Chains A and B, each alone.
Chain A
Amino acid sequence: MGRESVISIKNLSVTYDRKKAISNVYLEIGSGNIVGVLGPNGAGKSTLFKAVLGLIDDFVGEVKVNGEKASASLKKIAYVPQKNEVDWSFPATVYDVVSMGRYPHLGLFDGIGKKDKEIINQAIEEMGMSAFRDRQIGALSGGQQQRVFLARALCQEAEIILLDEPFVGVDALTETRIIQLLKKLSAQDKTILVIHHDLSTVFDYFEELVLLNQRLVAYGKTDLVFTEDNLKHAFGGQSPILHKLENL
């Protein structure tokens, strides 16, 4: 790595209703990386994201983003939730959703100004969505819907982008396009964390991997972390996904 770490997590533990979600996690993520976060259901992937986003008040340990407390650097982090958590029938257009990215930059009584509008339109343009600017979000294809949220992250001028399973329900072509966009963003020194399930694409997509199963199983360069041994630890020996791995 050699670059300074953007996200620094020390000894993080989170407990919900007396059940441990994650415990004793250490992570130092450098800027400009695309990091895959893998683990079985209930491994605490979402909890890790929430902690970085500053949504969890009650935790043990330390989470720092750019050397500050997570809740102090909200502007810099953009979050793209899972597709099925979004109300796609909501009366909002592509423009409306992307413009949300400007909100953290506005004061309490500010409106969206001329400069903000430029940034919004530029972000829409960069994601190739100009033709759909005024379309209601429910009338978009799965890939276009993801691009709306990426445009919002751009428009937010976020340095860190967290994506929760962005490739679920998206066709192969769109998946390739999205990963290309992510790589482009990472080349602009944005740090990108992706919760991911498909082991077969891990090598192509991610420079670094976080393997999580309540505890941190492994973290580092993909080729060092993505070993059968580590995966067994993360997913447990009987996981069906391992069969896929044998065919690689």
Chain B
Amino acid sequence: MDWLNIIITEPWAYRAAIAAILVGIMCGVLGCFVVLRQMALIGDALSHAVLPGVVLAFVVVGGYDDWSFFVGSVLAGLATAWAITWIQTNIPTKSDAAVGIVFTFMFAIGVMGISWISQTQGVHLDLKDFLFGNVLGVSNTDLEIVGISTVLIICGIIVFYRFLFASTFQEVVAQTMGIPVRYVHYFLMLMLSFAVVSSLKTVGVILVVSLLITPASTALLLTNRLPSVIFLSGIIGSLSGVVGIVLAIVFQTTPGPAITVVLTIVYMFAAVFSPNSGFAIRWFRKFRRNKKTEFEDFLKQTLKLNENKTFQLHKLKQRLGFTSFWFLFYKKFALRRKTITIVGDKIELTPLGKKMALKLVRAHRLWETYLVNKLGLSQEQIHEDAERYEHLLTEDILDEVDEMLGYPIIDPHGSPIPLKQNGSFFTLANISVDENALISENQVSDYVNAFLWKYKLMPNSEIVIVEKSKESLSFKLLGSTEIITFNRVMAEKIHVLKA
């Protein structure tokens, strides 16, 4: 733990670490607005404008002084922001091009100025320190500057949060509410200059922009309310900052690149593991959907076999074409869910399993009917689509489709469409002897309605079952003595509610 020792005992090291924490906070916090206002390039521009500011301060003051550098750089930053806006409004140049023109020019002047100072003024200024930061270079004055900037920025955001939020979310609306959006813009530019100049020693000119945009972008992946985005971004910025400094000390490299690498790794982690939109969760959802589909296919094929009076397990495996591992998996899963029973090589669906399988068949055949009747597709085109949608369509959608199609009884291939399997629906055939039931208002077809009408069975009239057999079912209206007998097939078509 050499580095820990260094950070605790060496003044230059703990100064650098403190600076990195503060710089991380302020850049992270401000960066949220930079990202949401799509000003990443402007952030980059302001940071590059620091260099001519340093030169200007040197020329005016005639020597090396941290505070004059700070003031000079902030002025240069504001001049850059103003110049960019001026070009954007007065010259027909595209706005991002305007940013590029101004900041490369400022940077060029700065680079030339600094080499001029080092060569002719007898002061050693290392361009590399300005570009990438220098852990050894954080003085006590620098720490003061960083501290004051951090406090100013945090207070500024708290006090003007309302203005910043409104003008960032909807600039025009904010303007109609009397919020001085132009001043808000320049206020943000001023804060941004503070942040960028303060970060100079820690990350350097080139990579400040990563402290501005990467933590904010990371936070935006993880949460969706502005105050928590700001808070989280500050935390990510400061932690990455201090980890970066440690890495820079351990590997004896410049701190800027180390911090940027840490920030980017954190960002990539968020992109993969974000709970709402991360790759991992999306992959997992897709995986789960696939497995659900395969399990449902397992039940459906078992139903088909059972209907053909076939019960051999190995036939099912053959038909599904799953690998042995997954076949075994689904078999065990189905047993645990009590959807199948297995005796030796004989597999059979339980009533629950049958219900689940029929639900799929209903979805499949209803969807095929929908595609043919409503969308006018031909019979050859529909099967594959239905194979996919049978797993995706919810009960609600299916009921709607069912209603829209007028409760069809057979699908385009001539196969019967199973009735809805659960919910408040029962058919007359589901009711046992001596049980009461109400005739439902929703019947599957006009034919059934007419049929009921003939027997004076109005919606909501209550009936009681008298006798049931394999072929027929007898019942009477409550309060009547006349016994009505329907055959089984008809009884299965009539919807009732249990009384």
**Chain A interface (Cβ < 8 Å from any Cβ of B):** 53-55, 74-75, 77-79, 81, 85-87, 90-93, 96-97, 100, 103-104, 106, 109, 136, 156
A97: shortest Cβ distance to chain B, in Å?
7
CA of A156 to CA of B176 in the docked complex: distance in angstroms?
12
Contacts of B166 in A (CB 8 A): 100, 103
| In the complex, chain B residues 164-181 whose Cβ is within 8 Å of any chain A Cβ | 165-166, 168-170, 172-179
A90/B36 in contact, CB under 8 A:
yes
| Partner among A53, A74, A96, A156 whose Cβ is within 8 Å of the Cβ of B165 | A96
CA of A86 to CA of B166 in the docked complex: distance in angstroms?
12
Of the A-B pairs whose beta carbons lie under 8 Å apart in the complex, a sample of 25, sorted by A's number, is A55-B172, A55-B175, A74-B176, A75-B177, A77-B176, A79-B173, A79-B176, A81-B172, A85-B170, A87-B36, A90-B168, A90-B169, A91-B220, A91-B228, A92-B225, A93-B224, A93-B225, A96-B165, A100-B165, A100-B166, A100-B173, A100-B174, A103-B177, A103-B179, A104-B178
Contacts of A78 in B (CB 8 A): 176
B159/A104 in contact, CB under 8 A:
no
Contacts of A74 in B (CB 8 A): 176-178
B221: shortest Cβ distance to chain A, in Å?
11
CA of A95 to CA of B168 in the docked complex: distance in angstroms?
17
Q: Is the interface of B mostly helix, strand, loop or mixed?
A: helix
B176/A55 in contact, CB under 8 A:
yes
A91: shortest Cβ distance to chain B, in Å?
5
The reply on B223 being an interface residue by CB < 8 A is: yes
B225/A91 in contact, CB under 8 A:
yes
B169/A54 in contact, CB under 8 A:
no
A87: shortest Cβ distance to chain B, in Å?
7
Contacts of B224 in A (CB 8 A): 91, 93, 136
CA of A117 to CA of B215 in the docked complex: distance in angstroms?
32
CA of A86 to CA of B173 in the docked complex: distance in angstroms?
10
B178/A92 in contact, CB under 8 A:
no
Question: How many chain B residues have a CB neighbour from A under 8 Å?
Answer: 23
A13: shortest Cβ distance to chain B, in Å?
21
Contacts of B220 in A (CB 8 A): 91
The reply on B226 being an interface residue by CB < 8 A is: yes
A178: shortest Cβ distance to chain B, in Å?
18
Contacts of A156 in B (CB 8 A): 177
Q: Mark B225-256, 1 if CB is under 8 A from A, else 0.
A: 11011000000000000000000000000000
| Given A85-B172, A156-B177; 17 other pairs, CB 8 A cutoff | A53-B176, A54-B176, A55-B175, A78-B176, A79-B173, A81-B173, A86-B170, A87-B169, A90-B36, A91-B228, A91-B229, A93-B224, A100-B165, A100-B177, A104-B177, A109-B159, A136-B225
B162/A103 in contact, CB under 8 A:
yes
CA of A54 to CA of B181 in the docked complex: distance in angstroms?
14
For the complex of A and B, list the 8 residue pairs with the smallest distance between their C-beta atoms, beginning with the closest: A74-B178, A136-B224, A53-B176, A104-B177, A91-B224, A79-B176, A91-B226, A91-B229
CA of A109 to CA of B166 in the docked complex: distance in angstroms?
15
Contacts of A109 in B (CB 8 A): 159
Contacts of B177 in A (CB 8 A): 74-75, 100, 103-104, 156
Contacts of A90 in B (CB 8 A): 36, 168-169, 226
Contacts of B229 in A (CB 8 A): 91
B179: shortest Cβ distance to chain A, in Å?
7
- Which partner residue on chain B sits nearest A139 by CB separation? B224
Contacts between chains A and B (CB distance < 8 A), count:
64
CA of A54 to CA of B177 in the docked complex: distance in angstroms?
10
Contacts of B223 in A (CB 8 A): 91
CA of A87 to CA of B172 in the docked complex: distance in angstroms?
13
Contacts of A87 in B (CB 8 A): 36, 169
Contacts of B168 in A (CB 8 A): 90
CA of A174 to CA of B179 in the docked complex: distance in angstroms?
32
- Which partner residue on chain B sits nearest A110 by CB separation? B162
Contacts of A106 in B (CB 8 A): 162
With contact pairs A81-B170, A86-B170 given, residues A96 and B225 touching in the complex (Cβ less than 8 Å)? yes
With contact pairs A92-B226, A96-B165, A100-B166 given, residues A79 and B178 touching in the complex (Cβ less than 8 Å)? no
CA of A52 to CA of B490 in the docked complex: distance in angstroms?
69
B170: shortest Cβ distance to chain A, in Å?
7
A181: shortest Cβ distance to chain B, in Å?
19
- Which partner residue on chain A sits nearest B36 by CB separation? A90
A97/B178 in contact, CB under 8 A:
no
With contact pairs A91-B229, A92-B226 given, residues A75 and B169 touching in the complex (Cβ less than 8 Å)? no
B1: shortest Cβ distance to chain A, in Å?
39
CA of A87 to CA of B169 in the docked complex: distance in angstroms?
7
A212: shortest Cβ distance to chain B, in Å?
20
With contact pairs A91-B224, A96-B226 given, residues A75 and B178 touching in the complex (Cβ less than 8 Å)? yes
- Which partner residue on chain B sits nearest A152 by CB separation? B173
| In the complex, chain B residues 158-214 whose Cβ is within 8 Å of any chain A Cβ | 159, 162, 165-166, 168-170, 172-179
B162: shortest Cβ distance to chain A, in Å?
6
A200: shortest Cβ distance to chain B, in Å?
25
Could you say which of A100, A106, A156 has the most chain B C-beta atoms within 10 Å of its C-beta? A100
CA of A139 to CA of B6 in the docked complex: distance in angstroms?
49
Q: Mark B307-333, 1 if CB is under 8 A from A, else 0.
A: 000000000000000000000000000
- Which partner residue on chain A sits nearest B166 by CB separation? A100
Contacts of B226 in A (CB 8 A): 90-92, 96
| Partner among B165, B172, B179 whose Cβ is within 8 Å of the Cβ of A79 | B172
Contacts of B175 in A (CB 8 A): 53, 55
A80: shortest Cβ distance to chain B, in Å?
8
CA of A195 to CA of B224 in the docked complex: distance in angstroms?
32
CA of A92 to CA of B162 in the docked complex: distance in angstroms?
12
CA of A91 to CA of B225 in the docked complex: distance in angstroms?
4
B70: shortest Cβ distance to chain A, in Å?
28
Could you say which of A55, A75, A79, A92 has the most chain B C-beta atoms within 10 Å of its C-beta? A92
CA of A236 to CA of B50 in the docked complex: distance in angstroms?
57
Contacts of A53 in B (CB 8 A): 175-176
Contacts of A79 in B (CB 8 A): 172-173, 176
Contacts of B172 in A (CB 8 A): 55, 79, 81, 85
A44: shortest Cβ distance to chain B, in Å?
17
CA of A92 to CA of B165 in the docked complex: distance in angstroms?
9
CA of A87 to CA of B36 in the docked complex: distance in angstroms?
9
- Which partner residue on chain B sits nearest A97 by CB separation? B169
A103: shortest Cβ distance to chain B, in Å?
5
Contacts of B173 in A (CB 8 A): 79, 81, 100
A58: shortest Cβ distance to chain B, in Å?
13
Contacts of B165 in A (CB 8 A): 92, 96, 100
